[in-house]
Chain A
């Protein structure tokens, strides 16, 4: 075995590896500069929650706590109260006075969505943003009632 053979073999390997690198230089990168650029998700992707409203602007959620009961991780907290008949939040007598989702606990299983009798809580395709502290991962009712602002593109389903 000669030393030269080893050197040549080594050089060939390096050239091969560098070839991969060089080839990628000309290609479009996989990294998405999210959130500046949109991220592509499948239509049934389960992302951040949202509490839907009716077209009239009334909240759909009636504070029934069924989502809370269905959640396997205890991520949801609902505290209900009686609607003021003159100025109701939701149809009927009951509404959610407090509604919170703890995104650090949530496993995005969608059981809450499944349990809701009025299709109020839904998982959107939005991707939750990083936060500086744990408290900020608990979404309040006000945050949940807003459609999440998330730069996503829906991929066609394969």
Chain B
């Protein structure tokens, strides 16, 4: 409880918390002091003079700005006095002198603080007769944001946001007096990854969204509070729809998740929802080699159910597989694996980045924890590109609390600009660096004393002692972490995937244990529902709730719930399914939101081999082009769904719009309808004749009747122990983090069981064989996610092309000189499994001896170079300038 002080406003005394800004304190007293420049998320400045009030200063009443004054005992103010009202009126009249009469064509009109305050506090008439000043009205400050300098009221909010949250002072004020304009610095358009937030912040229509410009008036939008599904942060957004189209996305406040910010991908890249290329009707290919033709749902579903059941009966359930995606909602992921396990009888179900990644289900404990840390270790993760809003919290910690960043990354990522330590490693050789860190720690006496109690200490110490590791950069990094009071270790999927995933993880955890921060070491999941689909059991070896498929009690519980016998041996992972398909062992494949064909020739070849391919997606992807049945799905905005973010927060994404001209259906509904037409008795589908005979409908529909997506979530809350009681209603607007406390009325026991604890044992990391080193392939491939890649969803937004990462391979200038490669030149990068053609980009940030190619570049899928997707980075490659002709 902060101490209260007594202040007087207009002769009435109020008790308010000491030190509060007067504008906020007045709000407690129901006095709404108008503001423009003041904003709860930005530091007070006092630039606009809108908030003028009178203050008693040693007996004299003076005009002061309420937004910069902190209240203290005995202060006296006047808000409604004639002088104060006059002062505010004058300020408004003054602001309006040069403000253009643009309201009818201004995007802000209708939700504009300047309009509202002019109505409430303005003089009503203007004495100004002269001609208004003219400035640039159509002035792009980036490919995403347009500035109208005439409308700007010079409140500094945009400038302050970029400074205080992004730490990128990219906008400034130029000229003086009436000529003052906002502008960027020469040749440096705004490129902060969360720049769009300044559009929401601007109190007038000076900054506008170039994707949504002129496509709405605020009063005609249907507004739905939802979440963004572009990354694992799960930022809260508002989806604004008009005539069944998603016209605008704006940020929505959730202090626990995204404060009030979203990144530019979430704000601008939504055209895919309304894209004319969207699939609108099911399609069937009658015979291999034929064309896809449009079909009705009944026909497409019946064919899919019969062929999948038929393959399972004749070839065995293991000949059927399904690959989902980490972008699927919990409901869709849950039903897909229920369909595969319960109806097909196969554990062949996975998603890209599923079984291949040794993810930790714990995830971050609490997003805002980041701001409280004093040392943050980023291992193999680049939040600025992967979770840009989390990156703003990290920068906040650096700027506000002087936090230091310890960055362990193959590339010298942007945040290495901050004080701390940077150590790079060659992808695939992560343990060399992590072990060096542990070794450096072991030199410290406190570590020796503390760690001696840990099981496995003696062995590890011996082993490290003799290990030939000792990265020179490690000593500084280790010392920083050791001396930290609130260290935080964040690592990304790159560290825990590929051949050496287990070794990398033990090696990193050893370091964390020795440094005493194992409980504060967190995995940063990449995709919108990476955490959720794992919880739902969209994995070949684990059931919903992370129980292993071999776990009999867990299986029996689900068998009772689903009324089906479940297979007990682990299924094939994503890559294994594709190789099994290529080898002719997997005969039917169901792809839901995944597109292996676009990831290089190997995936394409695998899909061509299967007898029956079903693709359920938004677009006619490369994989869908090969399918026997294409089922049109809808995006997250067009159906109810829940998603679990990287801190295990389950959040709702309600239906915001629907295209009345499309027959596309929600994933959960497609699975439900498929189950309803599933041939009843196993064996019935065995003969061609019986397949054609009238189907008998079995038990399945009874256990597969969901009135809506929320009913699916109800079942999830019964099937997945951690989601106990997490119904749609219980999630509320803010979402719920599991495990969560039940309301007092329900005995106060924590629902969802306890959180798995961090490992307590030191383990000698056992590396598998080193990657094929040789003169043939002198470089190591480094890859990772960038915010604006060339993914299917992004490509639909026109401006995405302008901001997207260039289709280029990053190479250290020293390596380029040796290879005689110049900037912009076309080159071929090849590995043992394939080759790519890209432009050369000389980049100091790239570690010598490595080549950097981000995921999902349009026309240059880096997956082509990987022997299997689970390899992740660390593949040996060579580079050569492309031969002419």
Name A residues whose Cβ lies closer than 8 Å to a Cβ of B. 62-66, 68-69, 79-82, 85, 92-94, 117-118
Q: Is the CB of A82 within 8 A of B214?
A: yes
Q: Give which listed residue, B213, B220, B243, contacts A65 with CB less than 8 A.
A: B220
Q: Is the CB of B217 within 8 A of A93?
A: no
Q: Using Cβ atoms and an 8 Å threshold, which residues of chain B touch A93? A: 105, 137-138, 214
Nearest A-chain residue to B247, judged by Cβ: A79
Q: Is the CB of A68 within 8 A of B220?
A: yes
Q: Is the CB of A64 within 8 A of B105?
A: yes
Q: Using Cβ atoms and an 8 Å threshold, which residues of chain B touch A94? A: 105, 214
Q: Using Cβ atoms and an 8 Å threshold, which residues of chain A touch B219? A: 69
Q: How far is the CA of A26 from the CA of B112 in the complex (A)?
A: 68
Q: How far is the CA of A94 from the CA of B215 in the complex (A)?
A: 9
Q: Is the CB of A69 within 8 A of B217?
A: yes
Task: Determine if B104 is an interface residue (Cβ-Cβ < 8 Å).
Answer: yes
Q: Is the CB of B220 within 8 A of A80?
A: no
Q: Using Cβ atoms and an 8 Å threshold, which residues of chain B touch A65? A: 217, 220
A-B contacts, 7 listed (Cβ < 8 Å): A63-B105, A63-B214, A79-B215, A82-B213, A85-B138, A94-B105, A94-B214
| Contact code string B776-793 (vs A, CB < 8 Å = 1, else 0) | 000000000000000000
Q: How far is the CA of A11 from the CA of B627 in the complex (A)?
A: 91
Tier of interface size on chain B: 10 to 19
Nearest A-chain residue to B245, judged by Cβ: A79
B215 CB to closest chain A CB (Å) equals 7
Q: How far is the CA of A94 from the CA of B137 in the complex (A)?
A: 12
Task: Give 20 new A-B contacts, CB below 8 A, not counting A82-B214, A92-B102, A94-B214.
Answer: A62-B105, A63-B105, A63-B214, A64-B104, A64-B217, A65-B220, A66-B104, A69-B217, A69-B220, A79-B243, A80-B215, A81-B214, A81-B215, A82-B213, A85-B138, A93-B105, A93-B137, A93-B138, A93-B214, A94-B105
Q: Using Cβ atoms and an 8 Å threshold, which residues of chain B touch A66? A: 104
Name B residues whose Cβ lies closer than 8 Å to a Cβ of A. 102, 104-105, 109, 137-138, 213-215, 217, 219-220, 243
Q: Is the CB of A92 within 8 A of B105?
A: yes
Q: How far is the CA of A65 from the CA of B102 in the complex (A)?
A: 14
The 4 closest A-B pairs by CB, nearest first: A64-B104, A94-B105, A65-B217, A117-B104
Q: Using Cβ atoms and an 8 Å threshold, which residues of chain A touch B243? A: 79
Q: How far is the CA of A63 from the CA of B301 in the complex (A)?
A: 45
Q: How far is the CA of A79 from the CA of B104 in the complex (A)?
A: 14
B488 CB to closest chain A CB (Å) equals 45
Q: Using Cβ atoms and an 8 Å threshold, which residues of chain B touch A80? A: 214-215
Q: How far is the CA of A62 from the CA of B102 in the complex (A)?
A: 11
Interface of B is mostly: loop
Q: Using Cβ atoms and an 8 Å threshold, which residues of chain A touch B105? A: 62-64, 92-94
A23 CB to closest chain B CB (Å) equals 58
Q: How far is the CA of A68 from the CA of B219 in the complex (A)?
A: 11
Nearest A-chain residue to B242, judged by Cβ: A79
B63 CB to closest chain A CB (Å) equals 36
Q: Using Cβ atoms and an 8 Å threshold, which residues of chain A touch B102? A: 92
Q: How far is the CA of A66 from the CA of B110 in the complex (A)?
A: 10
B221 CB to closest chain A CB (Å) equals 11
Q: How far is the CA of A94 from the CA of B208 in the complex (A)?
A: 13
Q: Using Cβ atoms and an 8 Å threshold, which residues of chain A touch B137? A: 93
Q: Using Cβ atoms and an 8 Å threshold, which residues of chain B touch A118? A: 104
Nearest A-chain residue to B102, judged by Cβ: A92
A92 CB to closest chain B CB (Å) equals 5
Q: How far is the CA of A92 from the CA of B217 in the complex (A)?
A: 16
Nearest B-chain residue to A79, judged by Cβ: B243
B305 CB to closest chain A CB (Å) equals 41
Q: Using Cβ atoms and an 8 Å threshold, which residues of chain A touch B109? A: 64
Nearest B-chain residue to A117, judged by Cβ: B104
B831 CB to closest chain A CB (Å) equals 45
B37 CB to closest chain A CB (Å) equals 26
Q: Using Cβ atoms and an 8 Å threshold, which residues of chain B touch A79? A: 215, 243
B100 CB to closest chain A CB (Å) equals 10
Q: Is the CB of A62 within 8 A of B215?
A: no
Most buried by A among B109, B137, B214, B220: B214
Q: How far is the CA of A79 from the CA of B138 in the complex (A)?
A: 21
B110 CB to closest chain A CB (Å) equals 9
B674 CB to closest chain A CB (Å) equals 38
Nearest B-chain residue to A77, judged by Cβ: B243
A127 CB to closest chain B CB (Å) equals 30
Q: Using Cβ atoms and an 8 Å threshold, which residues of chain B touch A68? A: 220
Q: How far is the CA of A64 from the CA of B138 in the complex (A)?
A: 18
Q: How far is the CA of A130 from the CA of B849 in the complex (A)?
A: 79
Q: Using Cβ atoms and an 8 Å threshold, which residues of chain A touch B215? A: 79-81
A35 CB to closest chain B CB (Å) equals 35
Q: How far is the CA of A59 from the CA of B655 in the complex (A)?
A: 38
Q: How far is the CA of A4 from the CA of B215 in the complex (A)?
A: 84
Q: Using Cβ atoms and an 8 Å threshold, which residues of chain B touch A69? A: 217, 219-220
A62 CB to closest chain B CB (Å) equals 5
Q: How far is the CA of A64 from the CA of B102 in the complex (A)?
A: 10
Nearest A-chain residue to B104, judged by Cβ: A64
Q: How far is the CA of A68 from the CA of B213 in the complex (A)?
A: 19
Q: How far is the CA of A81 from the CA of B220 in the complex (A)?
A: 15
Most buried by A among B102, B104, B138, B217: B104
Q: How far is the CA of A69 from the CA of B105 in the complex (A)?
A: 14
Q: How far is the CA of A81 from the CA of B211 in the complex (A)?
A: 11
B150 CB to closest chain A CB (Å) equals 12
Q: How far is the CA of A66 from the CA of B105 in the complex (A)?
A: 10
Q: How far is the CA of A146 from the CA of B102 in the complex (A)?
A: 27
Q: How far is the CA of A102 from the CA of B565 in the complex (A)?
A: 60
Q: Is the CB of B104 within 8 A of A62?
A: yes
A80 CB to closest chain B CB (Å) equals 5
Q: Using Cβ atoms and an 8 Å threshold, which residues of chain A touch B138? A: 85, 93
Q: How far is the CA of A94 from the CA of B108 in the complex (A)?
A: 13
Q: How far is the CA of A81 from the CA of B213 in the complex (A)?
A: 8
Nearest A-chain residue to B148, judged by Cβ: A93
Q: Using Cβ atoms and an 8 Å threshold, which residues of chain A touch B213? A: 82
Q: How far is the CA of A81 from the CA of B247 in the complex (A)?
A: 12
B137 CB to closest chain A CB (Å) equals 7
Q: Using Cβ atoms and an 8 Å threshold, which residues of chain A touch B220? A: 65, 68-69
A96 CB to closest chain B CB (Å) equals 10
Q: How far is the CA of A81 from the CA of B215 in the complex (A)?
A: 6
B885 CB to closest chain A CB (Å) equals 39
B186 CB to closest chain A CB (Å) equals 23
Q: How far is the CA of A117 from the CA of B220 in the complex (A)?
A: 18
Q: Using Cβ atoms and an 8 Å threshold, which residues of chain B touch A64? A: 104-105, 109, 217
B301 CB to closest chain A CB (Å) equals 35
Q: How far is the CA of A69 from the CA of B109 in the complex (A)?
A: 13
Q: How far is the CA of A126 from the CA of B219 in the complex (A)?
A: 32
Nearest B-chain residue to A81, judged by Cβ: B214
Q: How far is the CA of A117 from the CA of B102 in the complex (A)?
A: 11
A89 CB to closest chain B CB (Å) equals 12
Q: Using Cβ atoms and an 8 Å threshold, which residues of chain A touch B217? A: 64-65, 69
Q: How far is the CA of A149 from the CA of B105 in the complex (A)?
A: 31
Q: How far is the CA of A80 from the CA of B106 in the complex (A)?
A: 12
Nearest A-chain residue to B101, judged by Cβ: A117
A151 CB to closest chain B CB (Å) equals 35
Q: How far is the CA of A94 from the CA of B105 in the complex (A)?
A: 6
Nearest B-chain residue to A66, judged by Cβ: B104
Q: How far is the CA of A92 from the CA of B109 in the complex (A)?
A: 15
Most buried by A among B104, B105, B109, B138: B105
Q: How far is the CA of A62 from the CA of B243 in the complex (A)?
A: 20
Q: How far is the CA of A79 from the CA of B214 in the complex (A)?
A: 9
Q: How far is the CA of A68 from the CA of B220 in the complex (A)?
A: 10
Q: How far is the CA of A85 from the CA of B104 in the complex (A)?
A: 18
Q: How far is the CA of A82 from the CA of B217 in the complex (A)?
A: 13
Q: Using Cβ atoms and an 8 Å threshold, which residues of chain B touch A82? A: 213-214
Nearest B-chain residue to A69, judged by Cβ: B219
Q: How far is the CA of A143 from the CA of B177 in the complex (A)?
A: 48
B439 CB to closest chain A CB (Å) equals 60
Q: Using Cβ atoms and an 8 Å threshold, which residues of chain B touch A81? A: 214-215
